[in-house]
Chains A and B, each alone.
Chain A
Amino acid sequence: MGQHIESALRESMDRVVKMLVSFLPGLLAFLLAVIVMAAVGALLAVILRKVLTSMHFDERLASRQTPGEMTNLSEWSPANSPTLLISRTVFWLCVLAGVAIGLSAFNASFSETNNVSLFFLPYVTHIVGAALLIIGGTLLARFLSRSVLIGAVNAQLQYARFLSLGIKWLVLVLTAAMALDHLGIGGSVVEVAFGILFGGIVLTFALAIGLGSRDLVSRSIEKTIDKPTGFIPDPASKPGSDTPPLRHF
């Protein structure tokens, strides 16, 4: 009896060790590919940065572009340097290439009957996509919330921060739902939950404006109508006012 138990344990240990032996080379190949390609990418980035800096690429591009335009590459570049943007892009492309090569090597290390890679490889792309979604959504949420905050403050709305937070969380909730859907987590539960949450938030706003905050909104609207278009509480705009108007320009 003891010999049978010992034999069973020894066999299972053998299987696990064999699986590890078949798994580890692939993993090491993956890591090696990523490290090598990252080194190549870093070298290319340094060379590219030196070349572009010697060509005065940033200055030439800035002279051709219009300040403040949305298509201005300098506006979107880190530290206002398109050279830095390009060099970092090249670096991360090499890293991504290294990941792809590593995954291919990881896949090759398994036998054809093994289904781990068939499941794992596509899921990695979904993870990358979901990560990009979350990053983009977070940036967009921050940008929109700040825009709404500044606009509401300049419009002298008392609930500017509330509006800003509302917009931010709406975008974040939307982003999270998209990422989860992309990862295939939760299935219809996430969709339904998001629909209920999002619809509830929108319905809340509608009810607040239509019913609950009727007086507050009507006071805000009245204040806005009474003000001149320049957002300046110009006393001269009031009927019968003797106070002089302000001219900013």
Chain B
Amino acid sequence: MSTTPVLQHAEAATTAATQTPALTLVCLPPLAAEALEATLANLHRAFPGESLLVATPDTAPTAEVSNLRVITYTPSSPPPGAWVPTAADYLNAWTVAREHQPQALLLLGPESASVAPETLRRLATAVLDRHDLVLPRYPVGPHDALFNSAILYPLTRALFAHHVRFPLPIDAALSSRMAERLATAAQRLTAANQGDAFIWPVAEASVAGYTVRDVAGETRTLPAPGADDLNSLLSNVTGSLFTDIETKASFWQRARLVTSPPRVPAFATRPSARDSNPVDLTPMIESFRNAYTNLRELWSLVLPPNSLLALKKLSVTPAENFRMPDSLWARIIYDFLLAYRLRTINRGHLLGAFTPLYLAWVASHLHLVEGDADAAEQHIESVATAFESDKPYIVARWRWPDRFNP
């Protein structure tokens, strides 16, 4: 299977040699014909009068759009049900970009027809303003992106010192050198026949010393992860993140947040900012209690005694008072990260045993925020702060694991 996309220029879009090179290249995922046309229409509205190069793996539409040059390419086999750009996507995008040398590269994920022109404009503008990695911050409700709120955002912020709300982006805007760096990381994975593996752009940018920024995005249709069950999805994403963190250990152990983060505007919420019907948390809490009864011996191999004691207290807490402290959650994540590195137990078992703890955090979070989007955002920020405060803990345990072995 070839991992190098083959470029084909649609005859209808090829014009005379006097055409100026595009400043911005947009790489699209496989889309249905209607979605492709809608995306092109959005791009036209976002960049009126600007020359734009659009690369798509689908057949180019017959109707030309004035400022858009559409080229088609043959990507490597796309992973089924990919809900975010994967290693193969980053590699394909760079291969296209290498030939056309754009100043900005927009990589759009699934459901790209729903990306508003304003979002596209902000992404491209930020990159053209000399930022290397620009990620959109889409508005989500209090019941959305829970895994990102629980783990991805706090861990990325604490270890890599970047306040990027969604470190595993659906869409991304890249500078040329950022795209090259991500393609290099992707090449290692695609060479090992792992084209569907995740890439962590914020971590890569941090290690390379590139500038990172996130911009406010308009409401977008968030693609669903597909038919994978939650357990395997959690294991895949968490395992990928932990592996990436492990390879970059020498960097994040010294990374410090040098400047205070810019005060971000109030997070946009969906129209129903407060959900009047609360989520039934009882099944999640019961699931956690069942897991504590059956898995505490396994958790005792990973977690220190004080964390286990806290979990024991949590398991007997009534549902109306179910609350996992932020510091406990941060310690749990750090201990599991360390156990992942040390292979204390089989990694598949470790990530499987982690799922009930994540669900306990979800239940605690939802109980705390009670459907209020602003309260949810405040809690997420406090969780991230707890991760930052406990960073010395993971640094110390990483360097001297035997001294704190539970």
Question: Which size bracket describes the interface of B in this complex?
Answer: 35 or more
User: In chain A, what residue has the closest Cβ to B283?
Assistant: A233
Residues of B within 8 A of A160 (CB): 290, 294
CA distance A153 to B289 in the complex (A): 10
- In the assembled complex, the CB of B276 is this many whole angstroms from the nearest CB of chain A, namely 8
Q: How far is the CB of B295 from chain A (nearest CB, A)?
A: 6
Given contacts A68-B239, A153-B356, contact A242 B229 (CB under 8 A): no
State whether the Cβ of A66 lies closer than 8 Å to any Cβ in chain B. yes
Judge whether A248 and B147 touch: CB under 8 Å.
yes
CB contact list, A201-232 vs B, under 8 A: 229-232
- A161 to B293 Cα, complex, angstroms: 9
Per-residue interface assignment for chain B, residues 249 to 288, with 1 indicating a CB less than 8 Å from any chain A CB and 0 otherwise: 0000000000000000000000000010111101110110
Contact B278 A243 (CB under 8 A): yes
CB pair B229 A244 closer than 8 Å: no
- Chain A residues within an 8 Å CB radius of B298: 146, 149-150
Taken together as a complex, chains A and B put the C-alpha atoms of A65 and B191 apart, in Å, by 11
- CB neighbors of B among A140-190 (8 A): 143, 146-147, 149-154, 156, 158, 160-161, 164
Interface residues of B in 101-140 (CB under 8 A from A): 140
Closest to A150 in B: B352
A65-B280 Cα distance, complex, nearest whole Å: 44
Bound Cα distance from A164 to B298, whole angstroms: 13
B66 contacts chain A at the CB level, 8 A cutoff: no
Chain B interface, >50% SS class: helix
Cβ–Cβ contact A249 & B233, under 8 A: yes
A143 cross-chain contacts in B, Cβ below 8 A: 346
A246 and B279 contact, CB distance less than 8 A: yes
Partner of B295, one of A153, A230, A243: A153
Known: A143-B346, A244-B143, A244-B279. A67 touches B356 (CB 8 A): no
Q: Are the CB atoms of A231 and B275 closer together than 8 Å?
A: no
B42 CB to nearest chain A CB (Å): 24
10 nearest A-B pairs in the assembled complex, by CB-CB distance: A233-B283, A230-B230, A150-B352, A66-B192, A247-B144, A235-B280, A67-B243, A248-B147, A242-B277, A243-B277
